[in-house]
Structure 1
Amino acid sequence: MLLEHYELEIFNSKCNPQAMAVHCYAHLQEDISEALPYLNASLGGFEYVQEPPSVTFKVSGKLITVHGNKIAVNALKDEAEARKIVEWLKREINDVWERRAEITPSFQAAPRPQLMEILKLLPKTNCKACGEPTCMVFAARATEGVKDSSNCPELTPEAKAKLDAYLARFHFADVEMA
């Protein structure tokens, strides 16, 4: 097992202390730098930085950045959600490290869905039924993995199938923090 111990630090935003969301750092007691390219390959990182190594994921509207000695997560409800995400990442890190002989490491970010390609598939009615003010905002949120076809009640079955097929090409849509 590569990662065994971490210390969780929960804090409020310094630039917006009244914000309801909290953020966290998990300070890792083990250096996991060597596992990052394998984690990136396995989970399809949104961004990968080689020096110093880090990989960032966008999952359910959260930015999760994994460094060699720290994990940073934003937009959390509370400490329980922070622990759930960090424990999920701990399992993922240890799993890819154990399977590293089977994984081709990746030092590049995964391809990203394109806003205009998503917008082309939407009804462009700006009906707000999805909870967003416009279809353009919905498309932007879909590029982040926050929205998908199930959030747009105005989509025809054909358009829903096309949007699902398009988004399925991008790995981050498959990330589950079970």
Structure 2
Amino acid sequence: MLLESYRLEIFNNECMPGAMTVQCFAHLDQDVSDALPFLNAELGGQTYIKDPPSVTFQLQGKLLTVHGRKIAVNALKDEAEARKIVEWLKREVNDAWERRDTITPRYEGLPRPQLIHILKCLPRTNCRECGEPTCMVFAARVAEGAKGSDDCPALTPAAKADLEAYLKPFAIDGDGIPW
């Protein structure tokens, strides 16, 4: 096991002290730098930086960044959610490291979906049935992975298939929380 322990630090955003969400750093007791290209290959990081190594994922509207000695996560409800996500990432780091002989490391991030393309798949009626004020906002939430094709009740089966096909190469599905 590469990553065994960490210390969790929970804090509010200094720029927005009244924010309803918190952020966290998990200060890692072991250096996981060598595992990052394998983790990136497995989870499809949106941004990969080689030096110093880090990989950033955008999942369910949250940014998760893994550095050699630190994990950073934003837009958290509370400490319990922070612990769930960090524990999930810990498992993913260790799993990728254990299977590194079978994984082709990836040293670049995935391409990002184009908001306008997502919007073109939507009905553009601004019906609000998805819980968002406009189809443009819904498209932005899809692009960040917080919403998926199942969240738009007005999508025709053909439009849903088009949207899912477009999102597949970006590793964005908006379905389920992995942690």
Q: TM-score normalised by the shorter chain: which range applies?
A: over 0.9
What letter is aligned with 1:135?
C
- Alpha-carbon shift at residue 176 of structure 1 (Å): 4.6
- Supply the distance in 2 between the matched residues of 1:98 and 1:175 (Cα, whole angstroms): 25
Helix, strand or coil at the partner of 2:75: strand
* Counterpart check, 1:77 vs 2:77: yes
Q: What pairs up with 1:24-173 in 2 under 5 angstroms?
A: 24-173=24-173
Q: Which string of whole-angstrom CA distances, capped at 9 and with x for unpartnered residues, describes residues 52-96 of structure 1? A: 110000010000000000000001011110000000000000010
RMSD value, Cα: 1.4
Aligned residues: 178
The share of aligned pairs that are identical, in percent, is 67
Q: Structure 2-normalised TM-score?
A: 0.94
| TM-score of the pair, normalised by structure 1 | 0.95
User: How far off its partner does 1:172 sit?
Assistant: 4.0
Conserved in 1, the CA contact under 8 Å of 2:59 and 2:145? Answer: yes
Corresponding residue SS for 1:110: coil
Gap regions ≥5 residues in structure 1: none
- SS of the aligned residue for 1:140 comes to helix
- Please report how far the alpha carbon of residue 175 of structure 1 lies from its aligned counterpart in structure 2 after TM superposition: 8.0
Q: Does 1:177 align with 2:174?
A: no
